[in-house]
Amino acid sequence: MSTVKLTIDNVPVEVEAGTTILKAAEEAGIHIPTLCYLEGINEIGACRVCVVEVEGARNLMASCVTPVAEGMMVKTNSPRVRMARRLNVELLLSNHKMECPTCIRNLNCELQSLAQELGIRQVRFEGKKSEYPIDDSTPAIIREPDKCILCRRCVSVCEKVQGVKAIAPLGRGFDTVIAPAFQEKLLDIACVECGQCTLVCPVGALYEKDYINDVWAALADPEKFVVVQTAPATRVSIGQEFGLPPGSVNTGQMVAALRRLGFDRVFDTDFTADLTIMEEGSEFIERFTKGGVLPLITSCSPGWVKFMEHFYPEFIPNVSTCKSPQQMFGAVAKTYYAQKAGIDPAKMIVVSIMPCTAKKFECQRPEMRDSGYQDVDYVLTTRELARMIKETGIDFRSLPEEQYDDPLGESTGAAVIFGATGGVMEAALRTAYELITGETLPALDFYDVRGLKGIKEATVDIKGTQVRVAVAHSLGHARQLLERVKAGEQYHFIEIMCCPGGCIGGGGQPIPTNTAIREERIKGIYQADKEMPIRKSHENPSIQALYREFLGQPLGEKSHHLLHTKYTPRGKY
C-alpha cells in the first residue's frame, strides 16, 4: 500500500495515496468544517465550506474532493480560508428562510451550528429570497424548499442508497430547486416515504409530518381511551434525544414517560412482532412444505412494500401477506383487547411510536381497517415523542424504569431484534426450526444474518433440509437482490428492510444517524435480546393465550381477516 507524506497546518501527516485532504486532516486530529459532504454518498464539493489553502495553488481547494499529493503543504485555518468560509455561509444565509426559533431543526441545524462556529454575527448581503410552496401532500414527509441550501445530500441518499430517485435538482442558477420531476408533489410520484432524506438534510427543508397536536387532543378527550405501542428500535434510540449514548437501552424510562404523558395503556409492538413471527413463520412453512410461491419475502417494512409496489410489482405473489407488527397491533387492540377490557373500539385511539416515517403512510392505507375502524390512528416518530416529552418538562434521564401493561406488553427477545437488519429473519428461523422439527433449537443466535453488510446470505440446516436465506437492508441493496432473483438465483426466504441498518436507522430516528450510531443501536438491540427471559416468539404466553382465546390458530380464518393484507401495483412515475 503506497503512502503520501504532506504537511497540514505545520503537522507532518502520512496517509494512504488517494486520501482526500479532508480525511487526512481528520486522521491528524484537525477539524475542517463541512456542509454538503456525506462520506461515500455525497462528495461533490458544492458548498465550498471545507475549502483549504494549498501552497502553489491559485484557488482555494475543496478538501472533501481534493486528493493529497506528495509534499503538499496545506493550511486549513489561514485568514484567506476563514474569510472564504464565512463568505460562503453568509451567502447561504442571505437566501435562507430565517425562522430559527420556530424551525423544527432549531438547535440541531448544521447551518445554524456552522454560522456559530465561524463567528458570523451579521449577514452583510440581502438578496432575493426563494419562494416556493410547502409540499405537505403525503402523510409522512413535508418538503419546504425555501429552507433548502441545495447541498444535494437528500438527492444522493435517495438515488445512491435507496435507488428511488424521487427528487433531483431542477432549473439553473438562482432558480435551482430540489424537487420531484416537473415539480410534482411527493404524493404523486414514486416516493416510498422512507424519510432517509429527512435524516441527511442539514437544515429544515425536509422533515416528518407532525401529529403531536392530534395526539394531545386525543389524550385530553375524556371520551377517548388512548393506547400507545412502541416499536423495538425506539428503545435504543430515544435516549439519544436526551444526551444519552446511542444504543442505550431505555425501555423502562420510555414506558414511564409515556404514562406521564397521559396514555391510558402503554403496550409494546414487540408483542405483535411475536405474533408476526407466528403468522409469517407458519406462512413460510406452508409454502416450503406444500410447494407455494418462493422465495417468501418479509412484509414488515412499509417503505420496502411501497417500493415493491412501485418498482417490482411482479414480486407481489412472493411477499408475505402478513401485516406489519404495527398494523397487527392496531387490529388486535381494537378487537381482542377491546373485548377483553370492555372498551368500545369506536372510542379507542391507537398511537404508535415508530422509528419510521413510512409508518405514517402505512396506517392510512385503505387496507388497514380490518378491525372495523382505522386500525392505527396516529404514528409519531422517535423524534416527535422526544418533542412531546420535552414540551411537558419531564426529566427523561431521572425517570424510574417501568413495565409495559399486559397482555399486549409481553414479548420475547425474538421480537426485540426486529429492530435490526437480519432480526426478522433470525426471529423467524428460531420459531420455524422448532415448529418444523418439533425439537429444541441447539443455538439461538444466527450470526450469519447479522451486521451492516448490504446483502447477507446463509444456508440453514433444518434436520437435513437446506434452507437458503438472504437479508438486504436499504432499497438499493434490495434492488440488487431482487435482480439476482429475477436472474435465477434461488432462495427460500428473504428479509428486506427499507432503511440502512433496518429500523434502527429509520427515517424517524434522532438526528444524526450515521454508520457509527447504527452500529451502537444494533449492539443495544442484541443486548436487549440476550436479557429477555424468553427469546422465541412461539413461547410467548400472551401470544399463546391470544390464539387460544381469540384467533384459534395461525393462518386461520380470523387471523387471515385481521392480520393479513393485500398489495397494490403502483406506477413507477
Q: Distance between CA 163 and CA 159 in Å, rounded?
A: 5
Q: Distance between CA 206 and CA 351 in Å, rounded?
A: 23
Residue 175 in grid coordinates = 432558480
Is the previous residue joined to 442 through a cis bond, with omega within 30 degrees of 0?
A: no
Closest residue by Cα to residue 389 from 520, 536, 261, 564: 261
Mean pLDDT by 10 residues, the chain (573 residues): 95 97 97 97 97 97 98 98 97 94 98 98 89 97 97 98 98 95 97 98 98 98 98 98 98 98 98 98 95 97 98 98 98 98 98 98 98 98 98 98 98 98 98 94 95 97 94 98 98 98 98 98 98 98 98 98 97 84
Closest residue by Cα to residue 522 from 535, 509, 503: 503
Q: Distance between CA 206 and CA 370 in Å, rounded?
A: 33
Catalytic residues: 280, 283, 300, 320, 359, 362, 367, 503
Q: Distance between CA 152 and CA 176 in Å, rounded?
A: 11
Q: Distance between CA 348 and CA 337 in Å, rounded?
A: 10
Question: Against a cut of 0.85, is the pTM above it?
Answer: yes
The helix (H) or strand (E) run that includes residue 396 is none
The helix (H) or strand (E) run that includes residue 540 is none
CB 566 within 8 A of CB 308: no
Strand 225-230 relative to strand 265-268, pairing: parallel
Which residue type, as a one-letter code, is found at position 59? N
Confidence at residue 126, expressed as pLDDT on a 0 to 100 scale? 85
Q: In the β-sheet with 3-8, what is the strand arrangement from edge to edge? A: 11-16, 3-8, 73-75, 51-54, 61-62
